[in-house]
Structure 1
Amino acid sequence: MSLNATNSNLPPYSEKTPQSAPSSQTTDNSNRIAGTVYTCSIRDFQVDYLTIVRESATSYSIALTVDPTPLYRIELVSSSTKVGDIQIFLASDSTLPAIAAARLSANPKSKSEPSATICTSSPHLPDALWRPLARVGGMFAVDDYQSAIPIVTVPGRKAAPHQFSWRVGSLSEPFYQLLWDGPLPLVPSAMFMNDQRGSEYVFATLARKTSPEGGDNLVQIRRGAGLEFELSVILELFVILHLKNEQLI
């Protein structure tokens, strides 16, 4: 009798795997009103890191630092038929129109006009909403630009505009920082001191690449604020760079 014949009379092989112990997440869920629902809030103080890579004199790409695959494409446009002077496109589909755009003022030195207007939702539509980015006089050239940016402050709620200030003066180089103006959500006004805003008030930071030989144009951005907030940050950074006659390398 062959070995194969002997094996054919045996029952089919099966392996019993031990039951896995209940995870700590399952145990924790029984003690949470939210159950299995997990959210990300701006008050969690978590951040994402993005890189901005210059592809040409008028084109840049945005990717996560953990994955070099481009997510968005930024175009500096000079055509008279443009939707905006600075436009953001999805990198995955070049046939789609811009998802966000910025229009530069024809009179950038005017004190009665905004330096630019920003649109973060369907800028090609005739009824698109455009928000102003204004230059303001700041002490020691610190808070030079202000705008009301749509931001999600409570998970599950719609984005609502809140005023932010950019810190882009010589004291902060090579960093550009976006600061929340006023008390944070659910913080009493009596506990807020504008001159003592800590890192929890910094919602985005650009660390500019200072030499072609190495480094990155690195953007740190607060997680949970919503896509419109993130697109606004990128557009306003490029507007400010333009107004300062500077470019990312």
Structure 2
Amino acid sequence: MSSNTTDLPPYSEKHLVKSPGATQTAVSRIAGSVQTCSIRDFQVDYLTIVRNSPTSYHIALTVDPTPLYLVEIGSDASKNDNIQIFSASDATLPALAVARLSANPRSKSEAPATICTASPHLPDAQWRPLTRCGSLSVEAYQTSIPIVTVPGRAPAPHQFSWRTGVLAKSFYQLWWDGPLPLVPSSMFMHDQRGSEYVFATVARKTASDKENIIEIRRGGGLDFEFSVVLELFVVLHFKKEQLL
């Protein structure tokens, strides 16, 4: 394909008027100095869950023991707001995220648990189910979690699956289902998924491992991170287990 540039007017550079004292900074990318973090960067954060009592825990970074959030577990299985996340810095705030456990977890007509990660105290709060799946030998759970897939965009629900006891009894993993963002379906092969599809790994405290650690994919947003914590406790509840 050819083009004729002989009829184009000569290029004339336009200079913007600089304000007094303005300085020009060289940039090496379109985004300039703006820093973003995407789930496709495959970076992770490390959290620790510390047990305060049989029904109370707090969450902190592994690099800083300051409690960031509190997790309260209701002792009455008939209550709707069994597992709640609160701010550790302001006890006057209502629960930030809640998981409600069904009184009939084996029912086929209702989900064994529903989860809300945005203003659960409001009457129009949005609740989403966590459901059981898998085989007799491998118990798994499916969930649709709000997650930020493109920096600057609102979180959108995506399907995930929890795997428990596959690697070892003390390890739980949250797997992304389907192709990753901006990956064509034709390039996706379910049986060849690698570690890039693991969005959270939980290593439970044992006799040899001295703390509960969550390795969680960075960039997914707070709804995603709250969901991981709540769903972990829901899965533990179904398995009749607790974090030490």
Name the TM-score class by shorter chain.
Answer: 0.7 to 0.9
Q: Distance in 2 between matches of 1:187 and 1:139?
A: 32
1:235 aligned counterpart, secondary structure: helix
Q: Which amino acid aligns with 1:228?
A: D
Q: Taking structure 1 as the reference length, what is the TM-score of the superposition? A: 0.84
Answer whether contact 1:221 1:230 (CA < 8 A) is retained: yes
> Percent identity among equivalent residues?
71
Cα gap change, 1:208 to 1:76, in 2 (>3 Å): same
- Pairing 1:49–2:43 present: no
- Pairing 1:236–2:231 present: yes
- Pairing 1:223–2:205 present: no
- Pairing 1:189–2:205 present: no
Number of residue-to-residue matches in the alignment: 220
Out of 65, 72, 75, the residue aligned to residue 75 of structure 1 is 72
Answer whether contact 1:83 1:124 (CA < 8 A) is retained: no
Query: How big is each residue's C-alpha offset from its partner over 1:118-142, in whole Å with a ceiling of 9 and x where there is no partner?
Result: 0001111111111000001247415
Answer whether contact 1:83 1:101 (CA < 8 A) is retained: no
**Match of 2:88?**
91
**Match of 2:120?**
123
1:136 aligned counterpart, secondary structure: strand
Q: Which amino acid aligns with 1:245?
A: K
2:134 aligned counterpart, secondary structure: coil
Q: Distance in 2 between matches of 1:171 and 1:139?
A: 17
Q: Which amino acid aligns with 2:193?
A: R
1:185 aligned counterpart, secondary structure: coil
For structure 2, the residue ranges without an aligned partner over 5 or more in a row are 1-24
After superposition, the CA RMSD in angstroms is 1.8
Q: Which amino acid aligns with 1:104?
A: L
Answer whether contact 1:205 1:220 (CA < 8 A) is retained: yes
**Match of 1:17?**
none
**Match of 2:12?**
none
Out of 197, 200, 210, the residue aligned to residue 201 of structure 1 is 197
**Match of 2:4?**
none
| CA displacement at 1:173 relative to structure 2 | 2.0
Give the structure with the higher percent helix.
1
**Match of 1:110?**
107
Answer whether contact 1:146 1:163 (CA < 8 A) is retained: yes
| CA displacement at 1:111 relative to structure 2 | 2.7
Q: Distance in 1 between matches of 2:78 and 2:233?
A: 20
Query: How big is each residue's C-alpha offset from its partner over 1:173-216, in whole Å with a ceiling of 9 and x where there is no partner?
Result: 211000000000011111111122100000001000113x7511
For structure 1, the residue ranges without an aligned partner over 5 or more in a row are 1-25
Answer whether contact 1:77 1:84 (CA < 8 A) is retained: yes
1:84 aligned counterpart, secondary structure: coil
Answer whether contact 2:77 2:103 (CA < 8 A) is retained: no
Out of 49, 56, 60, the residue aligned to residue 57 of structure 2 is 60
Q: Which amino acid aligns with 1:44?
A: D
**Match of 2:154?**
158
| CA displacement at 1:74 relative to structure 2 | 0.2
Q: Distance in 2 between matches of 1:181 and 1:49?
A: 23
**Match of 2:164?**
168
2:234 aligned counterpart, secondary structure: helix
Q: Which amino acid aligns with 1:126?
A: P
| CA displacement at 1:171 relative to structure 2 | 4.6
